[in-house]
Structure formats: C-alpha cells, structure tokens
Amino acid sequence: MKPIVRLVGGWIAARRNRKAAFEFELAVCAIFKNEGPYLEEWLTFHYGVGVQHFFLYNDASDDNWAEVLEPWIRRGLVTVTDWPTEAQVPAYNHCIRNNRDRARWIAFIDLDEFLYSPSGRDLPDVLRDYTDVAAIFVYWVLFGSSGHRTRPEGPVIEAYTRCLDLAGAIDDRFDHGKSQDRSDYVTGWSRDGKSIVNPRMVRRYNVHKPKFLWAGEVLDENRRPARQRDRGVTVSYAVLRINHYWAKSLDEMTEKVARGSICNRNRPKRNLQRWLERERMLNGSEDRTIQPLWDRIKSGRIATSPAEAE
C-alpha cells in the first residue's frame, strides 16, 4: 500500500476510534455448534483477559449450550443469535452491521481459538497502542492432539501443550497449498490467523480479514502489512497471539473432519488421512506460554466467570 493511502487510512481509523466511551472496549464474535463442553472455559478465559461482551451465533446446537450460557446471558455478557441455516461469514457480517457502534474493537475468532497477550497485559490495554489501525492481524500458534486419542479430562489449555515447532513457522517454503509436501502446507497454515477490527471501518468481513469502507490496512502487531499464508512472512507472537487448538483429541479431530467446513456448507468433505498426516506435525514443541495467565484467571486474581461469582 502506498504511504499516502496508509496515512489516510490511519487518520480515518483514529477518527473512527476517538469516541470517548463505547459500550464495550473489546467484544468477540464467534459462531458455534455443539460446543457445550468447551464454552465455559473459552468464555472464562476471554473474560479474564478483558473481553467485555460476546456476540455468539448458534448454528443449530442440540447439546447443553443453553444451560452453560444462561448465567452469562443473565449478566449481560453474552448475546446469542440463532443462526441455523447460514454459514460463518454471513454471521460475522451480521455482527458488524448490528454492533459497529457498540464496541471499539471486535475480534473474530472460533471456539477452539484463545486470544491473549503473552505479556499478560489486559487486551483492551494492548489495543490502546493501535487506535490508528483499522485491523490487527493476530497469528495462530497451532496445537495438535498432544498424544490424546480420546477427549481428556480437564481444560483444553491444560490438556493440549504440544504445538507446531515455532521455528518452522517462519520457514518460507509454503506455496499456497499447491505442494504435495505436507510440511509445506502446515508451515503456511502457521502463517494464518484472525483479525481484531475497528468495526466502523469494515465494509465486509471474511473468515480471516476484513474489507474496508475507506482506506484501511490490516497490520500485524509490529505494524507491518499482514500477508496471510504468504511466503517469506516473519511471524511475530510477542504482543498478541492466538492459541489454535485445532485438532484436540484424535477422535474429536476425526469428527471435525467428517463434519466439514462451517465456512462453506457446499465444500466437499475433508480427506481424513491428509489431515492425520498434518496433525502429526502439530506436536513438535512443548508450549505452555498461556499457562501462567490461565492460572491467574482460575485463581480469581484477574476475573471470575458469572457461574463462579454466584
């Protein structure tokens, strides 16, 4: 992007963020289907790191989701929209249209993604350093099954501690998924992530990045243009990161692959063997960066969930 366009985009973003107070400094938008076993941990963690509201879209769940969410809804922390027939991207754009003036920032993540700052800083505090940015791209750290065949007891954060070797995340061999080399595919996958956006700047949101109403640019934490899944990208996780527990146990991963994509209901079913090969690469390193923050949240030194407060 030309410097003058970047300058104009930054000026517009800053003006769109200059309102003294929004209803929420940071909200999260997510779509879910039968995530009852994981909702409480995911909500508690993000509430603990500073998320003030959750816009959740229910894709025809038939598990105990309502029971889990009831105390969160009662305290005004969660808004649930039934979304039984439409996919992920329309849900995201519904959220933008209806809440662009309620939240200073909206993060678009999934129920298997945990957004945080490795420094332990509160997320709204971190985002105060980026008020002139239209959208911040946060890179994934991809976690594998950690050797679990079936779902283990306890929180996801504690059960899954093996991830893709972060040294491989900056390898430049990825060729946009065309290679038959599974390591090339997974290396490129590690350069992906999700965005935190100034919703007043967004015309349309896709799965990972927005399109803007005016001049705007998606930047990473170092204010460099975010080049999603591109060769030569230097990935940085120092300020913000997303732990992406994509696989969980092998049984759960197999079920996810069979279920297909929530982004596109017409997409053919994924090839299980191919994904099993990729999953094996997601266990190369031990990573417990998130653990001290989670321990503080559990102990109540940051925040407690509504269920714990009652």
Mutual orientation of helices 182-189 and 272-280 as an angle, nearest 10°? 70
**pLDDT given at position 254:** 86
Ramachandran angles phi, psi of 138, nearest 5°: -115, 125
pLDDT in tens, 111-153: 999 999 999 999 999 999 999 999 999 999 999 999 999 999 9
**pLDDT given at position 83:** 94
**pLDDT given at position 91:** 92
Report residue 74 as tokens. 């009662």
* pTM metric for this prediction: 0.84
**pLDDT given at position 185:** 47
Residues of the chain with pLDDT under 70: 1-20, 167-190, 228-232, 259-270, 301-310
**pLDDT given at position 272:** 77
**pLDDT given at position 49:** 98
The rounded distance, in Å, linking the Cα atoms of 240 and 129 is 12
**pLDDT given at position 278:** 80
Q: Does domain 3-302 have CATH number 3.30.300?
A: no
Domain layout of the chain by residue ranges: 3-302
pLDDT in tens, 1-35: 555 555 555 555 555 566 668 999 999 999 999 99
**pLDDT given at position 210:** 83
